[in-house]
Each structure stands twice: as structure tokens, then as C-alpha cells.
Structure 1
Amino acid sequence: MYDIYSNAREDSWRFTLGKCGKRKLLTIGLNPSTATKEKSDPTVARVQKVALNNGFDGFVMLNLYPVRATDYRTLPSKVDEEAFSENIQKIEDLIRSEKDPVIWAAWGESITYHSFFRRALTEIISRLTLLDVSWVRFGEMTASGHPRHPSRLAYSWSFSPLDMEGYAHSLRP
């Protein structure tokens, strides 16, 4: 089903999932749920449909944290540093390999739940500062100022630029 897939720890960590294309939409969510190389889940299905409806012929689903959980609140409060580091490196490597990367910020309000989600975003931004990356959001920001998660979208919405520097500054305690 998907020709882009990387995982570890007997698939309890998922780093990348997607379909090849000349113009891929790189999407960063919160953490992976149930989608695998062989089957989709509701979030990945929405990401793929949004990509195709908006001029992308491929997509890659990435996440701020690679540990699987159907509910982010059930993740351990203490970060697994090995999972965290490997995930950030894979995100950086993938984005560096893309020509004119477009990154859809798609983590929703829940980025505030675990401090390691915000830490991951800060690290990703830091590693990408010298690259020409286009950050986008789909639809309006949430009432509290976060880019919406794919499970909370309407297909009639469109992409808009996201001031990632300003957004990241708003996340600082």
C-alpha cells in the first residue's frame, strides 16, 4: 500500500509512511497511530486525500514523536531519548533530500500535552533553519493558535503559509 516506510522496535516506533511522487507533501503530526505499510488509518487517509486534492502526487507522514499510541495521552510522560533522537534525524534527512520541501504542520492543540512534543518541534526548526522550507497550515489555526490536526478538517479548506518562527515563539513557556 505504501512505498515509503521506516520503523523500529517491532513496529512500535514509526518514522515515515507515505507514497513516492515528484512533489510530495511532508506532513508532521503528533505521534503515529495504527497505520502500517500495509494499511491506512483515518489520519493517514485524510493526509493522503488532502495532498492529492492540492496538487501533490505523493506524501510522507512524519510525527513529532515516533512511538505509537492511539491516544497521545497514554504515551509515557518520560521521553524515550533513543526514539526521540532517531526520529528527529530521520525527519531532517528526509527534508534535506527533498527539492523545495513543503511541510504541513498538522499536530493540533495536543502539542501542549507533553513537553517532548514541543521540544521535538524546536529541534526540527533548529535543524532546518538554513534550508529553504515552506511551512503551511491547512485551514485556520485553532482558537488557541495551533495548526489543526488532520482529523479536524474540511476538504474545502486550503493551505496557507505558516509563520513557523512566530508560532514556535508562542509555544515557549
Structure 2
Amino acid sequence: MHIPQGPTDSLTLLPFDAALADALRPSPDYDVARWLYVPNTYSEYRYILGTRGARPLICVGINPSTAAPDALDPTLQSVERIAHSGGYDSFLMFNVYAQRATRPDDMEQTYNPILHAENRKAFRYLLSLSPRPAVWAAWGNIIEKRDYLMDCVRDFAADAQAAGAQWFTAGPPLKSGHPHHPLYLRRDTALLPFDIQAYLDART
């Protein structure tokens, strides 16, 4: 369980570029040839956690919990299984908001624009790793927990469009129209095309 120690604007945030540079150097804690973990130590926020490969699937959840390299939580275990079942050799877990909170209700009420800006840099970096990035929308109904989360998704959708990314959901969307959260999905759940723009247009 991770309970935020306070608002993220009280933290000294490590900018994404500096955090990435640290993550690309050898670590005594995990195999950097296998894992991409940014920042590369456990903290109150996380930009990226995933595995390295030539054909990654970028999974977009809501916010990080306790997972770390070699210590995936059930959600990340499901993400890895579905990515491999879908023909991808690796997964890259990204989140709409970078604050760690096991319970979404513990996320801060007001978003931190600096944290979002750095998280957006992280997303653009992930998009740059593939000529046609594959992005799996996986935030479930939790997107409704905070008003600012949908605004963040709109920024990421714009970045993905600029990169020529293709969006997917795991199985059909929920009755609410939101894409399924990865937890409890079957390992062979099919990845289906997802019209992110139509989804956002329906929520304006």
C-alpha cells in the first residue's frame, strides 16, 4: 500500500530528462538491460516502469502504485501477460498522473502542472521508441475520480496523434465507454482498435 505523504508540489521533483539519464546507467538494484524504471528509485511519483524490447506496448493506466522492477503488482503482471499475448515483446507502463497512490481516492485533489509537464515528456519519450507506437488505453472508470485526469488524457492524445500512434483497448470498452482496467482481464484478452478522438469528443 502506498499512501501519498503529501501534495506533490511540496516535493523536489526530478525532471524527466535527469531521471531518464539516471535510469540508463547501471543500477545495483535491478538489471537495466531488462528494465526501464524512471525515476530509478522508489519515490512518491513514477514516470515509467517497463521492460525493454524491439516491439513495446505502451499501457496507459491512471496512476502508479507500489510496483518496481522484479516486484510487479497484480495490475502490472496482467499488463505484461496481455502484452505478450498480443504479440509484443515488452511492455511500458505509463500513467495519466504520475503520483503514487495505491487507492485512487488518495490522489491529490488538484493536479500539479509541473508534474504533468514532466510526465508528458515521459510519454513523448515512449512514443519516440517506435516508428508506429502502440498505445493501450487502460484506465477504467477510475478516470472519473478526478476532473483533471481527462484533461491530462487530452494532452497525451495530442502527443500520440503527432507521433502517429495507434490506440487499443483490451476487449470492448465498459458500459461507461471507458476502456477496461487491466486487473482481472484474461491473459488472452484481445487488443482492439480504440478511437481515442471519438472517446474524447463524447466527453466534451
Return the TM-score normalized by structure 1: 0.93
Match of 1:163 among 187, 195, 199: 195
Q: 1:53 aligns with which of 67, 72, 85?
A: 85
Residues 65 and 101 in structure 2, CA contact (< 8 A), matched pair in contact too: yes
What does residue range 147-162 of structure 1 map to in structure 2 within 5 Å? Answer: 147-162=179-194
Q: Helix, strand or coil: the match of 2:47?
A: strand
Work out the CA distance in 2 between the residues paired with 1:141 and 1:75: 24
What does 1:1-173 align with in structure 2 at a 5 Å threshold?
3-7=35-39, 11-172=43-204
1: distance between equivalents of 2:89 and 2:82?
11
Q: Is the 8 A contact 2:132 2:163 kept in 1?
A: no
TM-superposed CA distance for 1:75, in Å, is 0.9
Q: How many residues matched?
A: 172
Distance across 1 between alignment mates of 2:137 and 2:175? 16
- The alpha-carbon distance between structure 1 residues 38 and 155, as it changes in their structure 2 partners (threshold 3 A), is closer
Looking at structure 1, the residues matched to 81 and 189 of structure 2 have their Cα atoms a distance apart, in angstroms, of 12
Shift of 1:7: 2.1
Q: What's the CA shift for 1:157?
A: 2.1
The 2-side partners of 1:41 and 1:12 are apart by 16
Greater strand share, structure number = 1
Query: TM-score, structure 2 length as denominator?
Result: 0.79
C-alpha distance in structure 1 between counterparts of 2:69 and 2:40, whole Å: 13
State the 1:20 CA deviation: 0.7
Show structure 2 runs of 5+ residues with no match. Answer: 1-29
Could you report, residue by residue, the CA deviation over 1:99-143 in whole angstroms, capped at 9, with x for unpaired residues? 211000000011122122101100111223232111000011101
Equivalence for 2:9 = none
Residue range with higher mean Cα deviation, 48-57 or 9-18: 9-18
**Unmatched tracts of structure 1, length 5 or more:** none
TM-superposition CA deviations, 1:3-46 (whole Å, max 9, x none): 11102895111110111111111100000011013411011110
